[in-house]
Amino acid sequence: MPEEAKAALKEFYQQVGEKYPEEEEVYRTLRGMLRREFILGRLAGLKGTFLDVGCNRGSYLESWQGGPRFGLDISLGALRQSPALLTGRLVQGDAERLDCFRPGSFDHLLCSEVLEHCLHPGMIFTGIALVLKPGGQALLTTPNYHGRRPEHLPLGILEEYGVECSCGGSYFHTAYRPEELEAMARAAGLEVAESGTLEKEVKYAAKLPAALLLFVRWINRFLRWPRLGRANEAFFHTFTLACHRFCAATRLERLLLPLVREGVRSYIVMRKPCTQMEPR
């Protein structure tokens, strides 16, 4: 059964990579913009070999200027849409099987928004520990949650792009708290340099837009108009961005951010212990 579930997930993400322009859709939302800014800020100025696990079409690889860069993604469809400058630098593979790379190959590693899609999260951390050089560093991000851990998400906008799922109208998608990421990192033999949450701005900027979003969704349960559903989602993201910009311009953000305890996304920075010298 686990093998069947794995095969179904692989097929699902092949479709997602081919049909859904994730980078274009996500990075024009407030969440996507904040996440991209956070990650690029952490990567800026770093030097050495770099691996992006779950690279999609290579957005972060394009920005890397510190040395040789490589990407891995399960979707060949997504990799085929990568820019020409990444030709020969991309591998179709499973994030849970990073042993396709030689041990100790990379100085830096990024694994953003991948863990929540994987059935065996501990294997991701084991793989990271394997492919990092001693002293190498990895940044991993994933959705955060409160209360009960989420397990599935409805297809939502994916359905509009023609993505189908053999398990019905939802797909496996979970989340992790920072302390859970820390525990998995330590179990894999990695040192935790830092952990926490990000995208706190979403917590206040999306309050009113989310209320309108849910109200229109409720109405559309009866109307069943696909165009209304898409327009509702687009308006939500536009309204959220407008609220954030208003709060930033009026400096309300200074009052609101301290009231936000946690962001909607977790992150962890890990290091591989320098227990051995790299051969020269």
pLDDT digits 0-9 by tens, 161-202 = 888 876 667 888 999 999 999 999 999 999 999 999 999 999
| pLDDT > 70 fraction of the chain, expressed in percent and rounded | 96
Structure-token pair, residue 10: 């692989």
Q: Where are the domains of the chain?
A: 2-200+262-271
Q: What is the pLDDT averaged over residues 214-239? A: 90
Under the banding of pLDDT at 50, 70 and 90, the label for residue 280 is: very low
Q: Whose structure tokens read 């972060």?
A: 60
User: What's the CA gap between 14 and 260, in Å, rounded?
Assistant: 37
Lowest average pLDDT, out of 32-46, 155-169, 265-279, goes to 155-169
pLDDT number for residue 1: 45
Amino acid at 185: A
Is residue 279 predicted with pLDDT exceeding 70?
no
Q: What is the pLDDT averaged over residues 200-208? A: 94
Mean pLDDT, the chain, integer: 91
Is residue 130 predicted with pLDDT exceeding 90?
yes
> What CATH number is given for 2-200+262-271 in this structure?
3.40.50.150
Lowest average pLDDT, out of 29-38, 147-156, 203-212, goes to 147-156
pLDDT number for residue 129: 97
pLDDT number for residue 264: 96
pLDDT number for residue 101: 95
pLDDT number for residue 255: 93
Structure-token pair, residue 50: 């770099």
Q: Which residues of 130-143 are buried (b: 16+ CB within 10 A; e: fewer)?
A: bbbbeebbbbbbbb
